[in-house]
């Protein structure tokens, strides 16, 4: 884990309230893996001491720059959205355990709910570079919230669902999951807790292994404050250190207090 002052090289509003930010951060980018996250100091002064966690969305080919994809939901993300090219941002990372592609897995099914696309693009890039096939199920509330297709690797097979039916199939992305489970060797999901609970209810995890990225409030991101502790079948686990990637079936969903 490294602390690095990263320089903003681009910050664009891709979808309403969703920003794609590129940062020159060679120390972190050079060792980052899909599923890792960074703790970002989102402002100056005492009130911004508490860093905010963000998934590493992508790393460029030279491994000098990394990207974050974030939704503006509060003070910290608002501050980030206002940063300009050349501004410096204090990062800690890479943190967490990362996704794990099993040896022998050829067909990877990625399931993204809304901003849950953030860590999955990096995973898709890595899988494709290793010769694996990737299908991405992407669900949002409406068409304007969809991640632009031209920013995805062209080899990804993209399937879309929107809740209001303005693009792709009308409904939740999990409605489409059963159609693809048979094809997949492994499933990787990132989205709201309700999406994970639906997958549990659909029983998909019994037929195919499902890895999820768990989003909880984090104090330190370093395994120090215990603020991110969750109950799993193998005991208490810290999301920042033991996660954020977990096997779906390991989490005691009924006891999750988010």
Ligand X SMILES: Cc1cc2nc3c(=O)[nH]c(=O)nc-3n(C[C@H](O)[C@H](O)[C@H](O)COP(=O)(O)OP(=O)(O)OC[C@H]3O[C@@H](n4cnc5c(N)ncnc54)[C@H](O)[C@@H]3O)c2cc1C
Contacting residues toward ligand FES, per CB under 6 A = 218-221, 223-228, 238, 240
Query: Closer to ligand FES at the Cβ: 168 or 244?
Result: 244
Measured CA to CA in angstroms, residue 94 lies from 12, 66, 79, 212 at distances of 23, 11, 21, 18
Q: How far is the CB of 239 from ligand FES (least distance, A)?
A: 6
Interacting residues with ligand X between 41 and 70 (CB under 6 A): 42, 52-55, 69-70
x/- map, 104-143, ligand X, by CB under 6 A: -----------x--x-------------------------
Query: Closer to ligand X at the Cβ: 114 or 168?
Result: 114
Measured CA to CA in angstroms, residue 258 lies from 30, 136, 207, 214, 231 at distances of 33, 27, 27, 10, 12
108 binds, among ligand X, ligand FES, none (CB under 5 to 8 A by kind): none
| Residues shown for the chain | 258
71 binds, among ligand X, ligand FES, none (CB under 5 to 8 A by kind): ligand X
Q: How far is the CB of 53 from ligand FES (least distance, A)?
A: 8
- Binding flag, residue 193, ligand X (CB under 6 A): no
25-58 burial, b for 16+ CB within 10 Å, e for fewer? bebbbeebbbbbbbbbbbbeeeebebbbbbbbbb
């Amino acid at each position: 884990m490294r602390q690095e002052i990263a320089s903003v090289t681009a910050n664009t509003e891709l979808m309403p309230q969703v920003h794609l930010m590129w940062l020159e951060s060679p120390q972190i980018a050079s060792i980052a893996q899909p599923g890792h996250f960074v703790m970002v100091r989102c402002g100056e002064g005492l009130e911004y001491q508490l860093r905010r966690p963000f998934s590493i969305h992508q790393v460029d080919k030279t491994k000098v720059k990394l990207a974050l994809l974030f939704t503006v939901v509060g003070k910290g993300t608002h501050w980030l959205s206002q940063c300009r090219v050349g501004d410096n941002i204090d990062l800690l990372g890479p943190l967490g355990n990362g996704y794990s592609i099993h040896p022998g897995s050829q067909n990877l099914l990625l399931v993204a709910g809304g901003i849950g696309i953030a860590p999955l693009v990096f995973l898709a890039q890595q899988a494709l570079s290793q010769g694996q096939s990737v299908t991405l199920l992407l669900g949002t509330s409406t068409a304007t919230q969809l991640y632009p297709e031209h920013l995805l690797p062209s080899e990804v097979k993209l399937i879309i669902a929107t809740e209001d039916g303005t693009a792709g199939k009308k409904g939740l992305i999990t409605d489409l999951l059963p159609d693809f489970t048979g094809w997949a060797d492994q499933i990787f999901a990132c989205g709201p807790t309700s999406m994970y609970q639906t997958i549990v209810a659909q029983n998909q995890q019994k037929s195919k292994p499902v890895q999820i990225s768990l989003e909880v409030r984090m104090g330190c991101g370093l395994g120090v404050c215990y603020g991110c502790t969750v109950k799993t079948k193998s005991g208490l686990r810290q999301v920042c250190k033991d996660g954020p990637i977990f096997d779906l079936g390991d989490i005691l969903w009924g006891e999750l207090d988010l």
